[in-house]
Structure 1
Amino acid sequence: MSEQSLVDAALDGRTPSLETCAPAHGVPEPVACAPSSRRLLELARRVAASECTVLIAGESGTGKEVLARFIHRNSRRADGPFVAVNCAAIPESMLEALLFGYERGAFTGAHASYPGKFEQAQGGTLLLDEISEMPLPLQAKLLRVLQEREVERLGGRAPIALDVRVIATTNRRLREEVAAGRFREDLYYRINVFPLVLEPLRARRDDILPLAMQLISARCPPGERIPALSAEAAHLLLTYSWPGNVRELDNLVQRALVLVNGPVIGPEHIQFEPALEPAAQTPAKTPAREQPAGSLADAIEQAERALILEALRESRGCRRAVAERLGISPRTLRYKLARLREEGIDVPAA
């Protein structure tokens, strides 16, 4: 679909293909208006009918958990629990107890028995979000649980049989993690039964305006009029590269709803993250005439790269200080630094 068609649809209040992307029975569905998104959603529907372990790969913020929930809702386990565990957000010392559970007295502070996330997901689906962040020793224990389909609590004496479907997500290239020795090869093959890859938002432009309208509707207080997008605002959304993907779009929508004071969101209400603005709007150390010609996406990537490297130099490589300076999470910073290394850029050591 052309940009003008997308903009015209937004202006008319008829977000393109939104009817086919609308929530079913009040449950939010993934927006799948771009051809690649439609193909992915069809694959997800088909794998949902099976019991296969699914591995969903994609950049941070692309909607991997949304897709995992879609698979659960369309499976025979839909009436069972959906339990999500963010492997990157839980300290290594706590992750094992959280996943597998523990008995009273298993360790200092274990004053009562606790069923782990595997047990909590009995009859349903367990999402292991960002599984690539799981430490190697715990990967070995997870492999055994997946193979034997049973779990033993810390301090327990008997295994507990499991009836759980596992979905895992990652924002890394797991084959490269295996080659680097950071992820177990046997676990990789155990979870990679049916791989699904979510493309970044910049690669599925037909999804941008439908997603924006869906987010605007969701973020508007009940009873309030839902503002429309002006042609200029829609153009800004369609021509931006979205390095933060849907999560960044959601943040932008929330900012726009704070700034708008009428029935239409205009370009003045579209505020991109300062650190990710095009290079032309960012103070540059080299004159503009020396900047190589390229696309808007190239300019944004160059600006982001320069900001990250400058923050690393000024913070003397302290990753926590860099993340705070840039206003991003340490995990997002690790991902961006890994991308820089893949591009052959020398990243200062911590």
Structure 2
Amino acid sequence: MDFVAVAPESLRLATLARRVAASDCTVLIAGESGTGKEVLARFIHRSSPRASHPFIAVNCAAIPENMLEAMLFGHERGAFTGAHASHVGKFEQAQNGTLLLDEVTEMPLGLQAKLLRVLQEREVERIGGRAAVALNVRVLATTNRNLRAEVTAGRFREDLYYRLNVFPLSTSPLRDRRDDVLPLAMRLLTSRCRAGERIPALSADAAHLLLTYGWPGNVRELDNVMQRALILCNGAVIEAEHVHLEGAAGLWDPPPAQRVEAVMPESVPMSAAAIAARAASSALSQSLSVAERDLILDALRLDNGNRQAVAKRLGISARTLRYKLAKLRESGVEV
């Protein structure tokens, strides 16, 4: 999935990511589980001069400790029991490209020392091998933990921490970037629909539920919710009853500054409740507009600019599509 950046925090992160992508320095991406750390890593790779070369991701938490070393560095035939053939490791597979070490804090201390040597020497020696292989690989790493605290606790090597933490980036939880919720929801719906299949729209009530939920599981939870909604939806619109959330405990309470933001001149008397309702309505309208824009642009890309195919995919008339494209042009969007 493409990196979605509509909220101010995400736009700032995308700007930093593009800047660091032009370099070859190591990047450490921190953030809660499900916030899109790997998506950001892929965005950095696609924005870099290495984009035409491999992007190899290794989930350090998902591979057993006794297999991770051979997976990363490779091995020669006969290096250990069961090694019936030589195997190229992930570092060599990523040659001239990018290697992502996902959840690097799950790597055992003994292997951390070997990883540090590879990063320092920029060469790797397969298990059971005698010759070192020179590497030209850009390394990215992610973690959902406080890596500085892991170092203090003795669970992560301090020298490796400094080797990885050359350029730190942080992905914010979804509850802190509410403007990303609807564009992400529509992007996820688009990715789950088969080619040529109509992409359902979100009703205002359904959108309101998505915007006011706290998303403890972040984008991964949003993806699950949209998959369920897609299955339950029988028509062209996802309604509130199709959106199944984890319960009221997850509902998001806007900060006071957002709840009482003035949207009318001070001379017009309004209750705090009315101001809050007007502010929420304005935020919802803006987020829906952004989601509609992204949905139209995605459809144009998927159908190679074929207006008739785009209108069919979106379930609208060609005349309505022309009107919406004209409005996008007026707002400065090139279509």
Would you say same fold, with TM above 0.5?
yes
Amino acid at match of 1:172: R
Question: How many positions carry a matched residue from both structures?
Answer: 255
Task: Give secondary structure in 2 for the equivalent of 1:70.
Answer: helix
Is 1:116 aligned with 2:89?
yes
- CA spacing shift, 1:279–1:45, aligned 2, 3 Å: closer
CA contact (8 A) 1:78 1:124 kept: yes
Does residue 145 (structure 1) correspond to residue 118 (structure 2)? The answer is yes
**Matches for 1:27-46 after TM superposition, within 5 Å:** 28-46=1-19
Answer yes or no: is 1:228 the counterpart of 2:201: yes
Partner secondary structure for residue 141 of structure 2: strand
Q: Corresponding residue for 1:213?
A: 186
* Residues 38, 102 of structure 2: 8 Å contact kept: yes
- Separation of aligned partners in 1, 2:189 and 2:95: 35
Larger of the two Rg values belongs to structure: 2
Distance across 2 between alignment mates of 1:80 and 1:213 = 30
Match of 1:163 in 2: 136
Deviations 1:302-347 (A, max 9, x none): xxxxxxxxxxxxxxxxxxxxxxxxxxxxxxxxxxxxxxxxxxxxxx
Mapping for residues 286-325 of structure 1, pairs under 5 Å: 295=253
- In structure 1, the residue matched to 2:49 is 76
The one-letter code of the counterpart of 2:85 is A
The CA deviation at 1:205 is 0.3
1:265 corresponds to 2:231: no
Percent of pairs with identical residues: 75
Q: Is the 8 A contact 1:240 1:296 kept in 2?
A: no
The one-letter code of the counterpart of 1:248 is: E
CA apart distance, 1:296 = 8.6
**CA positional deviation for 1:29:** 2.5
CA separation of 1:280 and 1:217: change in aligned 2, threshold 3 A: closer
Q: 1:165 to 1:223 in 2, by over 3 A?
A: same
Q: Which runs of 5+ in 1 are unaligned?
A: 1-27, 282-293, 298-350
Q: Measure how far apart 1:278 and its partner are.
A: 1.9
Q: TM-score when scaled to structure 1?
A: 0.71
In structure 2, relative to structure 1, the CA distance for the partners of 1:90 and 1:102 (3 Å cut) is: same
Cα distance in structure 1, aligned partners of 2:87 and 2:253:
54
> What's the RMSD between the two structures over aligned residues?
1.6
Q: What is the CA–CA distance in structure 1 between the aligned matches of 2:180 and 2:129, rounded to whole Å? A: 48
3-state SS of the aligned residue for 1:114?
Answer: coil
Any conservation in 2 of the 1:53–1:194 contact (CA below 8 Å)? yes
Change (3 A) 1:241 1:161: same
The answer to whether residue 25 in structure 2 is matched with residue 52 in structure 1 is yes
Deviations 1:79-124 (A, max 9, x none): 1100000000000000000000000000000000001000000000
CA distance in structure 1 between the aligned counterparts of 2:19 and 2:240, rounded to whole angstroms: 41
Pick the aligned partner of 2:171 from 190, 193, 198. 198
1:90 is paired with a residue whose SS is: coil
What is the aligned partner in structure 2 of residue 133 from structure 1?
106
Measure, in 1, the Cα distance between the counterparts of 2:162 and 2:113: 13
| Structure-2 residue corresponding to 1:178 | 151
Q: Which amino acid aligns with 1:157?
A: R
1:238 maps to a residue whose letter is L
What is the aligned partner in structure 2 of residue 278 from structure 1?
Answer: 248
Whether the 8 Å contact between 1:80 and 1:124 is mirrored in structure 2 is yes
- Describe the superposition over 1:3-36 as per-residue Cα deviations: whole angstroms up to 9, x where unpaired: xxxxxxxxxxxxxxxxxxxxxxxxx431000001
Of 210, 215, 234, which residue of structure 2 is paired with 1:242?
A: 215
Q: Does the 8 A contact of 2:72 with 2:90 survive in 1?
A: yes
User: 1:254, 1:280 → 2: CA distance?
Assistant: 19
- Work out whether residues 31 and 211 of structure 1, in 8 Å CA contact, stay in contact via their aligned partners in 2: yes
Q: State the shift of 1:224 in Å.
A: 1.7
Distance of 2:22 and 2:68 partners within structure 1: 30
